Chains A and B, each alone.
Chain A
Amino acid sequence: MYLLAVLAGLASTVFAQTTIEFWHAMGGKNGEITAQICDMFNKSQSEYVVNPVYKGSYADTMNAGIAAFRSGTPPAILQVYEVGTATMMSAKGAIKPVYQLMKEQKEPFDPKVYIPTITSYYSTSKGEMLSMPFNSSTAVMYYNKDAFRKAGLDPDKPPKTWPEFFDVARKLKAAGYEAGFSTNWVGWVHIENFSAWHNVPMGTKSNGFDGLDTELVFNNPLLVKHFENLVQMAKEGVFKYGGRENKANSLFTSGTVPLHFESIGGYGSMKATCKFDFGVAMLPYYPDVKGAPQNSIIGGASLWVMNQKDQKVYKAVAKFFSFLSKPETQAFWHQQTGYLPITTAAYELTKKQGYYNDNPGPEVAIKQLLNKAPTQNTMGLRFGFMPQIRTIVDEQFEAMLDGKVSAKDGLDTMVKLGNEKLREFERMNK
């Protein structure tokens, strides 16, 4: 054993390998696939070694990265969830923008090969890519096809607009289901994606892309109407609230509620848990809104490069990112995890491999993202304290459901409290 260790030590000095740390938040199956991709990269060449380290939840991983930066030993790559983007972006001196890194390392890099709605979320308004998209998803509608059959509805024709959707939900409830629909991630689905899908701004300054002095403006008549409808549906017992984040999933998987909104990232686990035939459809829209549907926006996480003293580390990161962007790597990642591919080539490759014949769900999500070229309302969001803003949304929504505030007042409060947070963030990052 001792001899082996010495030999291994010798080997590494002979080849002068550069080892870099990649801190991520991918647990379970997704964690295994992440490790597998790193392993594939390590075996594809002999100069660099990427060492993936699981750091717990998204919040844990981000905190670990920040603590490591503060003590002067940041990892080379840190995975950060989409709502942490504004915080990372403002941390000049802590991060190395990806477009700069690729240029400095003379690594071939063409931002145009990536799917625009995915990269725009992590780019400046000029289109400079700051972090590398890793696991991207978007919100879609899941529906129970067996339930549709039972209620005498066509399982291949899911509702397209919100009025149709509410109508179908009522019919499903009448057919004997406890309620018609439920939803995860109220803020992400019914405000963030909803606004993008209808091409209305969630905040000023291109949703924060053009400056920290952005203000939330989503208390517009369209959203008020939508939330009034949701509350009305709850009163009728057609909408069943299942809790924050993804806690409502069990309502759908148990067959209690036949319509549900959830991330496409949950497609794999839906397939594993649902004992019925289900389908994935695009988010509904209000047909009286001009230009709707536009395109949805993403959720998930991206990879940030932390500032390093050693140039060799940057080289290794650049090589790894190139490897990650290859169609084969992306297609593998996409098909194994259900997250979306970040390049159009990977999408085409997956299509050619026939993956969507058995798994039509993920393609619906991609089509929804690619529906139209992103506008300044739909590139993504760049708001500070985003996790807190989502909590504010949850709280006010719960107050609406409990009849404590009206939809209008609730949305006004969300915007008011959210803007207070944005001002604090602005002041903190001046």
Chain B
Amino acid sequence: MTKQYAFHNKTLPYVLVFPQMIIVVIFFFWPAFMALYQSLFIQDAFGISLVFVGLENYIKLFQNPQYLDSLVLSFKFAILVAFSALSISLFLAVQANKHIWGKTFYTTMLVWPYAVSTMVAGVLWMFLFNPTVGIVSYQLKKMGIDWNYLVKSGQALFLVTLASTWKQISYNFVFFLAGLQNVPLSLIEAAAIDGGGPFTRFWRVIFPLLSPTTFYLLVMNLVYAFFETFPIIHQVTSGGPNQATNILVYKVYKDGVINLDLGSSAAQSVILMLIVIILSALQFRFVERKVEY
């Protein structure tokens, strides 16, 4: 289906992509290269003494139990957020795709949280669940639950997962709804005539047809949970209590920006970069192949 366009002028295409390339080089390649370079040194904050240490920063990280905990935690958190955000938004999208009264209103309301900045989302949930003044905590206490996410690790992780999931649902919802609207009615009708109930129709026909969307969203959600949840963590728990919500990206910030331990922080950024590269590679490979049945 794709058409090939040819430029007659040999330099024009380069001129056209040049501005974009400048931005990419300055804001992406250069910092990435600097991180790689700095991760091989230990240096003081002002860069006055610079000592080459090879891979020592990396080795130290993988020998540090706290870093390994943070690594495991990040994957756990990312999977939790991606799974909950995907399943809830798929459910909502399926409901919104039915012929129901007030469909537009319902859809608009569900997309709305997307306009809320991540920071504000964090503040919102923090207030709802604040052990002293939160409305939800008040109800929880009435129910006899000892709610204090400032001390209890499980509760803290639950809260940041909840806030991060809530923020991501709108985004997923839009894609799922679009995906559902693209499922040909004729196929669903055919399945119905063959005797498939709603459950079978969904899992045997609709869900497989949605798989490219689902896979794309899965990757986007994992990336989101790994990186973009930073404001929520920062606002709600600051990585605590103990280290219960200290995910990798937050640790990079703490070690680099607050503590000025640039070597270790750079090494951590490089590891994060590798994770994104792997996720993107997976996405390109599978989305290009069009996951479908």
Binding site for B on A (CB under 8 A): 59, 62-63, 66, 69-70, 87, 90-94, 241-245, 247, 250-251, 254, 256, 385, 387-388, 391, 394-396, 398-399, 401-402, 404, 424, 427-430
Contact = CB atoms under 8 A, between A and B. Distances in A.
A87 B261 CA distance: 11
A63 B241 contact: no
B49 interface: yes
Interface residues of B, number: 28
Interface of B: 42-49, 132-133, 148, 150-153, 238-243, 254-255, 257-261
A245 B238 CA distance: 10
A87 B257 contact: no
Contact of B133 (A87, A91, A254, A402): A254
A243 B150 contact: yes
A63 B257 contact: yes
B132 A242 contact: yes
Given A66-B45, A428-B49, A401 B238 contact: no
Contacts of B43: 428
B56 to A, nearest CB: 11
Contacts of B261: 385, 388, 424
A417 to B, nearest CB: 8
A396 B259 CA distance: 18
Contact of A396 (B242, B254, B258): B242
9 contacts: A62-B260, A66-B260, A69-B46, A91-B44, A93-B48, A250-B132, A256-B132, A398-B150, A428-B42
B39 to A, nearest CB: 15
Contacts of A66: 45-46, 260
A226 B48 CA distance: 41
Contacts of A93: 46, 48
A69 B254 CA distance: 21
Contacts of B132: 242, 250-251, 254, 256
Contact of A395 (B45, B243, B259): B243
The residue in B46, B148, B257, B261 that gathers the most chain A C-beta atoms within 10 A of its C-beta is B46
A394 B246 CA distance: 13
Nearest to A256: B132
A130 to B, nearest CB: 15
A402 B151 contact: yes
B257 to A, nearest CB: 6
Contacts of A428: 42-44, 49
Contacts of B133: 250, 254
A66 B48 CA distance: 11
Contacts of A404: 242
Nearest to B255: A388
